[in-house]
Structure 1
């Protein structure tokens, strides 16, 4: 049998003839002429090389070879029905893969959205990469992921951004530190103390350095650390003070004190970033729609800044 001569339409006609036992009824159901149906059956018979039907009491009966072909066709069409349902789930974002790369600080907030989404859509495979800004920027440049989360977006020449959460930075000191007794401080008051800092290039470090430079201030002592968590633990242990994202600090941690800095507001915003020069998985688009609808349900309403509508509209075109 030469499979090159088979087509789904040819097999569909054959299956209808088997089910109806009639050329005329098959023609009526499939909106074909009777000669067309007869010709299709003749072509299929020649392709298979075996008789598929015989006539008994003016009704077409199926031979043993025809019955086996019919059973094979049922399996094939059932498999393709399953595949069509699978495609609909993928296209609807209910199945498939979603790759997200986020900078370190985002790991304190994004799981609050990823968890509920995964519970509602268990067939979506979420792959999450976490790194410092330099590492995530490298992934962005290589277009390795569907979504990126930054507090300072990279170049958007080939990308779109949607803001979703404010990222306030606060001055953090140990509860027993001399600064902890003050209701507020000025930036010039604190440069004399040892600071625990993120690596150059991190969004937090860039904001803080910019604030110091704008006032002509220089830190007298500093130690660089690779993660927010390490800095938070070190501050709690009395190793120094730090400027960190408010989202990093546990609400019930009594070993730490947040001290307002007067006349200075350090804040950025979190953004979802999507490259426009690569294919974006349907599941990733579905997650962004989920995020737009549920930011205030799962994140602190105080900081939510929902700007995802424009991003989602652009991705739906």
Structure 2
């Protein structure tokens, strides 16, 4: 056999995405280039690695075993490259972070200078809901997580970052309405919730339970961005994190509706497992956050104090 690392990388990506087109996009290659290398790789085996049924690509059982072996080889090669760079005094390796969806408005600013300073650090960041973030941390799949509600069942270390404020917001039809909405007024509002497993959903449900409110009509969407657009379109109102709606407030697409017990205030935290064997990259990132968080927050999120 005489396959190349390039062919291993292509087959591994095709196996992962189950698509030549998606693999070519992910690898920044043309589709014909991927197809040619995939064909050359297949020719070196007596058994099929994949099959096409209809228009769908399926990896065979044998192909799945080869894909797993390819991934192990590629990981080892990457580790060798990191070690070589580290030997020459460069910080090199992977930084894996899982964040809740609202944290996508903050984490890039906390990462930016660090990633620019260390060109050989590769960032892998998963943006999802709180339940999945906590699961990733618990399974040791990531180095860090950014959450506003700390998991109670995990032994963690943390760095407190900044306040997270959640307000009741509606579309422009609420412009000029009374400053404080009464209880009976709140209970007549069509409410838009995040999906189960979301920290924003939990905060909203806890607020409703605490104030013993009934819900007139409830909708559920799976992202804050989708909820924001739904509120702007007049589908209903929602309790949303302030950090994600600044521009819409400035453009008067959204209006803050004042109500008893609002805003809800939590705190963003960078967290990691106490038992985690931190890499040099992870330790360097902790130092970066501890030394620079106040300046970063002041520069990019000082406006939060105006609300």
TM-score, length of structure 1 as denominator length: 0.63
Cα gap change, 1:204/1:83 in structure 2, threshold over 3 Å: closer, same or farther? Answer: closer
Corresponding position of 1:17:
none
Corresponding position of 1:103:
100
Secondary structure of 2:114's counterpart equals helix
Cα gap change, 1:294/1:302 in structure 2, threshold over 3 Å: closer, same or farther? Answer: farther
Q: CA deviation at 1:145?
A: 0.6
Q: CA deviation at 1:248?
A: 0.8
Corresponding position of 2:237:
241
Per-residue Cα deviation, 1:169-205 (whole angstroms, up to 9, x for no partner): 011100123x752223245421211111111232112
Give ranges in structure 2 of 5+ residues lacking alignment: 1-81
Q: CA deviation at 1:243?
A: 0.5
Of 251, 254, 279 in structure 1, the residue corresponding to residue 252 of structure 2 is: 254
CA distance in 2, matches of 1:185, 1:121: 50
* Aligned: 1:142 with 2:115: no
How many residues align structurally?
Answer: 219
Cα gap change, 1:169/1:234 in structure 2, threshold over 3 Å: closer, same or farther? Answer: same
Write the mapping of 1:70-81 to structure 2, written as runs, cut at 5 A. Answer: none
Corresponding position of 1:288:
286
Corresponding position of 2:302:
301
Contact 1:185 1:261 in 2 (8 A): yes
Q: CA deviation at 1:287?
A: 1.6
Contact 1:171 1:243 in 2 (8 A): yes
Corresponding position of 2:150:
153
CA distance in 2, matches of 1:130, 1:85: 29
Contact 2:129 2:199 in 1 (8 A): no
Cα gap change, 1:184/1:288 in structure 2, threshold over 3 Å: closer, same or farther? Answer: farther
Contact 1:163 1:271 in 2 (8 A): yes
* Aligned: 1:133 with 2:130: yes
Corresponding position of 1:71:
none
Contact 1:173 1:236 in 2 (8 A): yes
Cα gap change, 1:278/1:256 in structure 2, threshold over 3 Å: closer, same or farther? Answer: same
Q: CA deviation at 1:119?
A: 1.6
Cα gap change, 1:229/1:157 in structure 2, threshold over 3 Å: closer, same or farther? Answer: closer
Contact 2:145 2:271 in 1 (8 A): yes
Secondary structure of 1:301's counterpart equals helix
Aligned residues: CA RMSD: 2.4
Write the mapping of 1:83-98 to structure 2, written as runs, cut at 5 A. Answer: 86-87=86-87, 89=89, 94-98=91-95
CA distance in 2, matches of 1:98, 1:221: 42
Whichever of the two has the greater Rg, that structure is 1
Secondary structure of 1:234's counterpart equals helix
Of 88, 111, 114 in structure 2, the residue corresponding to residue 114 of structure 1 is: 111
- Comparing 260-269 with 191-200, greater Cα deviation is found at 260-269
Cα gap change, 1:279/1:238 in structure 2, threshold over 3 Å: closer, same or farther? Answer: same
Per-residue Cα deviation, 1:223-276 (whole angstroms, up to 9, x for no partner): 000000000011111111110000010333321112222343411111111112
Contact 1:171 1:260 in 2 (8 A): yes
Of 193, 214, 217 in structure 1, the residue corresponding to residue 213 of structure 2 is: 217
Write the mapping of 1:52-71 to structure 2, written as runs, cut at 5 A. Answer: none
Secondary structure of 1:277's counterpart equals coil
Q: CA deviation at 1:301?
A: 3.2
Q: CA deviation at 1:83?
A: 6.8
CA distance in 2, matches of 1:116, 1:222: 42
Contact 1:153 1:161 in 2 (8 A): no
